[in-house]
Structure 1
Amino acid sequence: MAVFFNESTIDAEAQGDGVAIKHLITPERVNSDKVRTDQIRLDAGAETDFSVGAGDLAWAHVLDGAAVLVTDAGEQPLNQDHFLFLPPGQSARLKSEAGALVFRATVPDAARFDSGWDAAALECRCMDWTNEPVLNSEFDARKRIYMVTPQLSGTKAVKGEMILYPPGTQAANHHHEGAEHFQVILRGAATFYLNDAPHKVKAGDTVYIYDNERHYFINDGEEELAFIEYFVPGVYKTVWAENAPICTWNPSGKDIKGGTPSREIAAHSSAEAHSRTDL
């Protein structure tokens, strides 16, 4: 059964001067080794190792504050608008002048999730997700922004997106086959239905979902629900409940700031997302 927890219930471990880490998704907590997630806090002036294991891949984004990624290629400033993809074996350090809170996910031994795995072809990439195209739900006011896809990362080991639910919106009941996935609530609150049973979720919650577990969100709160979700592997099958509308996403022609997006993505259903060449 899916695992629910809030980051506030997990103790932080000191990692040196001004650095503390919360281990969120762990094999022990979810009984799976597909992915691990951490929340890393850097105090003002702190610095920490941010390297990736030889067979792993990782991604990260800033939840609060600002940081700088330091690699052999130089320094990359990071804020809440950035999404960072880190390939296997990447050597890196993370530092912050004024303090930062950073979310990081790692897929150990990532080659097992991508039959076309080519570690040498993967690169360290930093993108401004606020320039990515916004897709609108065909049925209501929900919005989707892809964060990591085969086109953006170069691997099918993971796929993920940010989804925004204005008050009163909801998804259709569905389940996935061939992948486990998790959702992290960034802001807002909602009711999450798991196998038809309601569960209240709020900012700071992680929901870890296994194969064949029916689920959907209803934003029955008064503010926008924003969450990120990631699938491992990034290729899977989505199955909708009988008579449920299939989630279809149409291009808005804009980014989240209302400007021209960095690329174009054509209309598609959630079931097609893993197989599209424009993602």
Structure 2
Amino acid sequence: MAKAIRAADLPRLQSTRDTRARIDLVTEETFGLTDLKADHITYHPGDTAAAHYHLDCKHFFFVQAGNGILYAGEETFELGPGDVALIEENEVHWFENPNDEDFTFIELWVPAPRETVWVDPDDI
């Protein structure tokens, strides 16, 4: 059966580490799915995430606006609008927005992550 959720009713989370914002789009809670998860993420100027990885899922990113840096293992990727990136299962990664404009993207996990592991649990 079809289902729609108004933007104002989607779950929203604010990082306690910096000013990053997350809107849950497709989750077990919103649509009852575990084979896919999707979020809308905004990194404000100066925001950076802690290094982490997800168990047993692929992680995709589709950049909507702004520019940012994706760190994956020893590699660095400068991403901008329209770019798509993939992080493999259990691959350490994090983002940074060193710019003076918001960096926004849609992130997808296939399947939904069972667990996120923080490289430094004191840095989340």
Normalising by structure 2, report the TM-score. Answer: 0.91
Aligned counterpart for 1:163 among listed residues 41, 47, 50: 41
The Cα of 1:240 is off from its aligned counterpart by: 1.3
Counterpart in 2 of 1:173?
A: 51
2:29 equivalent to 1:141 = no
Question: Separation in 2 of the partners of 1:133 and 1:151?
Answer: 9
Corresponding pairs, count: 124
Aligned counterpart for 1:194 among listed residues 55, 72, 76: 72
2:98 equivalent to 1:217 = no
Question: Separation in 2 of the partners of 1:181 and 1:141?
Answer: 22
Gaps of 5+ in 2: none
| 1:192 maps to amino acid | L
Native 8 Å contact 1:196 1:214 kept in 2: no
Choose between structure 1 and 2: higher helix proportion. Answer: 1
2:118 equivalent to 1:237 = no
The Cα of 1:133 is off from its aligned counterpart by: 3.5
Question: Separation in 2 of the partners of 1:217 and 1:235?
Answer: 18
Question: Separation in 2 of the partners of 1:167 and 1:244?
Answer: 22
The Cα offsets for residues 166-204 of structure 1, whole Å up to 9 and x where unpaired, read as 010010011111111201000000111010432111010
Answer with 1 or 2: which has the greater Rg: 1
Gaps of 5+ in 1: 1-122, 247-279
The Cα of 1:237 is off from its aligned counterpart by: 1.9
The Cα offsets for residues 220-268 of structure 1, whole Å up to 9 and x where unpaired, read as 112101111111111422111135523xxxxxxxxxxxxxxxxxxxxxx
2:98 equivalent to 1:207 = no
| 2:109 maps to amino acid | F
Question: Separation in 1 of the partners of 2:122 and 2:72?
Answer: 15
Aligned counterpart for 2:60 among listed residues 171, 182, 197: 182
**More deviation in 231-240 or 139-148?**
231-240
Normalising by structure 1, report the TM-score. Answer: 0.42
The Cα offsets for residues 30-78 of structure 1, whole Å up to 9 and x where unpaired, read as xxxxxxxxxxxxxxxxxxxxxxxxxxxxxxxxxxxxxxxxxxxxxxxxx
Superposed CA RMSD in Å reads: 1.5
After the TM superposition, which segments of 4 or more aligned residues of structure 1 sit over 4 Å from their partners? none
User: What is the aligned-residue identity percentage?
Assistant: 33
Aligned residue for 2:4, secondary structure, equals strand
Question: Separation in 2 of the partners of 1:217 and 1:165?
Answer: 9
Counting only pairs closer than 5 Å after superposition, residues 18-37 of structure 1 correspond to structure 2 as none
The Cα offsets for residues 86-105 of structure 1, whole Å up to 9 and x where unpaired, read as xxxxxxxxxxxxxxxxxxxx
